[in-house]
Structure 1
Amino acid sequence: MQKRSSIVKMEEKTGRSGALCFVTVRHEISQNGQIALSEDHDIVYREDPQKGRTSPAPMPAPQEAEFSETIQPDPVTLFRYSALTFNGHRIHYDVDYARQVEGYEGLVFHGPLTATLLVDLGRRMVGKTPKRFSFRGLAPIAGNAPFQIQGRPEGHSMALWARRADGAMAMQADAVF
């Protein structure tokens, strides 16, 4: 098997929190010259936060979950996931850097790990693997406060989301079965 990753798009924008750079990376996994899996990974890079600037209020998570599980972040899990995914960003393992340089309240929980927890929750609730899964990060999960992964069925699909301890929606996802 071969994996090929390429940047397919870069776009600079200004958002509620300042300057942003959106980068789309396409990952293609192939075997014997045939693509078996293709994924577009959208990554958002933001400018360093300005001292004294307040962050915009995050969107609240839905109240009508039919199922929910609590996740307790811990530094060891974040470090291991960083190693597993070759992600060397210090916000996931250096709490002083995350707080003092990036302005988070503590270590930042990995977005892809949150998405993995959500798709697994949907899989366990339905009893089969989804045909399609998409997700979007909306607000970071930082610090060691527990958060919930939640969802509800919607026809042949499932709405899934991650709810931070403060009630904000950290991630929304959709799984089609």
Structure 2
Amino acid sequence: MTPHIISINAKASESKQSIQMNISSQEGQHASFVVEFYKESECADEWRRIEFLVESRMESLREQRQGHEAHVLSQAVVYKLFSAFVDYEKTFQGMKKVYLSPLHWEATADVVLEAPGADQTFTVPPYWIDSIGHLSGFVLNAHLTDHNPKSVYVSHGWESLRLAKTLVLGKKISNLCSNGGKDSR
């Protein structure tokens, strides 16, 4: 296996409480983003304003499975369907169960973060972020009314992602929200 050298540059701005990050290799730039620091209470206040809407939709999807209006898919089925265009390693397979409303472009999932390998050391494993983001790609690609077999939706990233709580290995994650997704065909 040929080694790949990557360059990660970080520039902190104390006045903006942020860090500008750039990740590149000999092939070019792979990612550019800003990490912003904020008080947990700010994020919690913002979440409280919309929590009842998101929570009620998630609960509704879970209840719709009993009337067969929503599908419940296991981890094995979800990642088997994904394998038509990408084969995720076990550590990237964080969605344990998906509740999908195929006609309304909605879903919620039970996500449990996988443990890093014995030879891996991360503050936050990158596949945890993938596990959080897989649901949006799954919803777009599993929609029943889109019958074009030549179409595949690929996420190019988020406009923003806030994690109000620390990600914890093995703990079920709920109350995830992202906004400004840039999904395209």
- TM-score, with structure 1 as normaliser: 0.46
Higher helix share: 2
- TM-score, with structure 2 as normaliser: 0.44
Higher relative contact order (CA 8 A, sep 6+): 1
